[in-house]
Amino acid sequence: MSQLQFIDQQRVHYPVQLLCHVLRVVPSRYYAWCQRAMPKAAPAWETALVDVFDEHQRRYGTRRLQVKLGELGHRVGRQALHRHGRKALQPKAFTPRTTDSTHGKRCAPNLLLDQPKPTQVNQVWVSDITYLPLANGNWIYCCAFQDVCTKQVMGWQVRADMPEALVTTALQRALLTQRPAPGLIVHSDRGG
């Protein structure tokens, strides 16, 4: 049995400060151990909170929620509703899988390593795909090509799905509007 477990067992008989002093344990160490040892259980009123919130089309604020929960037998302060309620009401975050690192195909070398920063437009473009969440829970995908020197977006494309055409269309738009000279470097982060 560790010193901290002993203190925890004997705290019903003796003050924690005295036990810590006798065992030469800093009280903050014991209290930190207690925080780690006991997982925080969700308050019992959280499920009722979600039900009440959904029942009223997610329009109730903390005052109305506090009253409704009180009617159901749950005494909850508004601060607790702010603290715990936000986590209870938020849907679990969905993060789309963005990279297929097991494709087995050859990757292009990074031509920007050990290169000076471009000083003219249309020497180096960089590209990336951004995932944009919609209010309905779906995602759209935006691919953009940006000039490294001017930071100007040269071409872009937005789609609800992510086929190769998302990238190729954005690149074609950039090439049509800019008409760069031969030697342009187009760099992508390769999904990293």
pLDDT at 41 over 70: no
Per-residue pLDDT band for 109 (boundaries 50, 70, 90) equals confident
**Whole-number pLDDT of residue 48:** 84
Report percent pLDDT > 70 for the chain. 85
**Whole-number pLDDT of residue 192:** 47
pLDDT at 175 over 90: yes
Q: Give the three-class secondary structure for 66.
A: helix
- Identify which of 35-49, 50-64, 80-94, 169-183 has the greatest average pLDDT: 169-183
Residue 153 has phi, psi (to 5 degrees) of -75, 120
In this structure, what is the dihedral angle of CA atoms 50, 52, 56, 61, given to the nearest 10 degrees?
-80
Q: Give the three-class secondary structure for 109.
A: coil
Query: What does the pLDDT average to over 22-33?
Result: 89
Residues 6+ apart with CB under 8 A from 178: 122, 154, 155
Residue 135 or residue 158, greater confidence: 158
